[in-house]
Amino acid sequence: MKFEQARLDRICDWMQSYVDDRKYAGSSFLMMHQGREVLFHSCGLRSVENNLPFERDTLVRIYSMTKPITTAALMILVERGEVHLGAQVSEYISDFTAAQALVPGATRLDQTEPAPAPTLHQLLTHTSGLSYPFNPGILAAAMDELDLVFGPKEGSLAERVSLLSTLPFAFQPGTRWEYSVGIDVIGRVIEVISGQSLEQFLAEEIFNPLGMPQTGFRVPAGAGDRFASLYTPLAGNAMALNEARTGEQTLRLVDNADASPFESATMYSGGGGLVSTIDDFARFSEMLRNRGRFGDQQILAPKTVEFMLHNHLPGDIASMGPQSFAEQPMEGMGFGLGGAVVINPGRTCVPGSMGDFSWGGMASTFFWVDRQNDFTAIFFTQLSPSSSYPSRAELKALTLGSIIE
């Protein structure tokens, strides 16, 4: 495979245009082909208020790009025979034993019927009946009222999962797709099975073996001002998609390194709690591309990674009646374990390859593994919500457009 430099330069120009137009304060992009760096570029600022550049070692909130990491952690336990994906979550968290789901057409939270506890597979694939506060619907509104987003200062994971279990599911498990906190619940399952905190398990089983010292649930000691500020173009809550109102500032500061809850996080959110650097995350994405191996470390077996990166839905996401926000297109896009899988590139309306595995985060970060062309790509910035601009579609088109043979 051959890349044309002039076409790679278009990616750098595109990144700069987002900075010049004050859409993003700054960003970085890293592309690896067969384990070798093809392009790294950064531009703009990690802190507008302090005029600090966005650099290679800048730390960012990866939010939902935490999900594939937590999923890989559960698959480590699956490989060891300590759990299977068909198990109901109630086997590990008894609070879900007497579950209820909203009846079809419900208009109130108390209009429910008995429901089975979702399986771990349903939690991983967002078919469990759980939701997010920023989605439409009755359950989402109840979660919003309780501030159930598994934020870094919301107490312990065990406490928040227990509170979540008091709410009904949005639908009967397995019948629909809705983006959810299901992988936060998976994080708690990992704690119960392993007897360790999710923080400890991820460090021992993934971060340390892969050499990811800058990745964790809080800003690492000694990081100083390398932690990027978070911005939003919205006038209100940067995560409140149901009430999104464009503000006068395209880069309104909502969280900075001096006073961020990520400096002293107490919640180990397996669905959205990690901070990382682009080189750290590249090691994880390269492990997926290389079928579970990075350097001399075999984190997962090749067949396990292949299983994760297959589509686990009956068809595409759109066919399962989603009403929620998602980090990816829904037509032509299936869902594997912890991330989306392209099953029909033409239907996604985004240039890509069959089998592309990807996911992003609420602060507009994004990564994908192109198995056909044997490369990984990672984009970091810090603007919430990620639906503000079509940057992911544009970046995929630019990247594939740089391949000339």
pLDDT digits (tens, 9 = 90+) for 129-145: 999 999 999 999 999 99
Q: Is the pLDDT of residue 246 over 90?
A: no
Residue 328 confidence (pLDDT): 72
Q: pLDDT, tens digit, for every residue of 356-373?
A: 999 999 999 999 999 999
Alpha-carbon span 365 to 264, nearest angstrom: 22
Alpha-carbon span 240 to 209, nearest angstrom: 37
pLDDT bracket for residue 240 (50, 70, 90): low
141 in any annotated domain: yes
Give me the CATH number covering residue 121.
3.40.710.10
Q: Which domain holds residue 126?
A: 74-200
How crowded is residue 332: how many other Cβ atoms within 10 Å of its Cβ? 20
pLDDT bracket for residue 239 (50, 70, 90): low
171 in any annotated domain: yes
Q: pLDDT, tens digit, for every residue of 293-337?
A: 999 999 999 999 999 999 999 999 999 987 776 677 789 999 999
Burial of 111 (0-12, 13-18, 19+ CB in 10 A): middle
**Structure-token pair, residue 144:** 């919003």
Residue 245 confidence (pLDDT): 62
64 in any annotated domain: no
Alpha-carbon span 372 to 355, nearest angstrom: 8
Residue 247 confidence (pLDDT): 62
Is residue 131 a contact partner of residue 239, using CB atoms and an 8 Å limit? no
122 in any annotated domain: yes
21 in any annotated domain: no
Is residue 118 a contact partner of residue 89, using CB atoms and an 8 Å limit? yes
Alpha-carbon span 171 to 128, nearest angstrom: 8
Is residue 122 a contact partner of residue 182, using CB atoms and an 8 Å limit? yes
Q: How many domains does the chain have?
A: 1
263 in any annotated domain: no
Alpha-carbon span 227 to 260, nearest angstrom: 9
219 in any annotated domain: no
Crossing angle of helices 391-401/5-20, nearest 10°? 160
Residue with structure tokens 């000339």?
A: 404
What pTM, to 2 d.p., does this model score? 0.96
Sign of CA dihedral 14, 15, 16, 22: positive
Alpha-carbon span 354 to 363, nearest angstrom: 26
177-203: average pLDDT = 98
**Structure-token pair, residue 91:** 């086997």
Q: pLDDT, tens digit, for every residue of 147-177?
A: 999 999 999 999 999 999 999 999 999 999 9
345 in any annotated domain: no
Give the closest residue to 339 by CA, choosing from 75, 61, 133.
Answer: 75
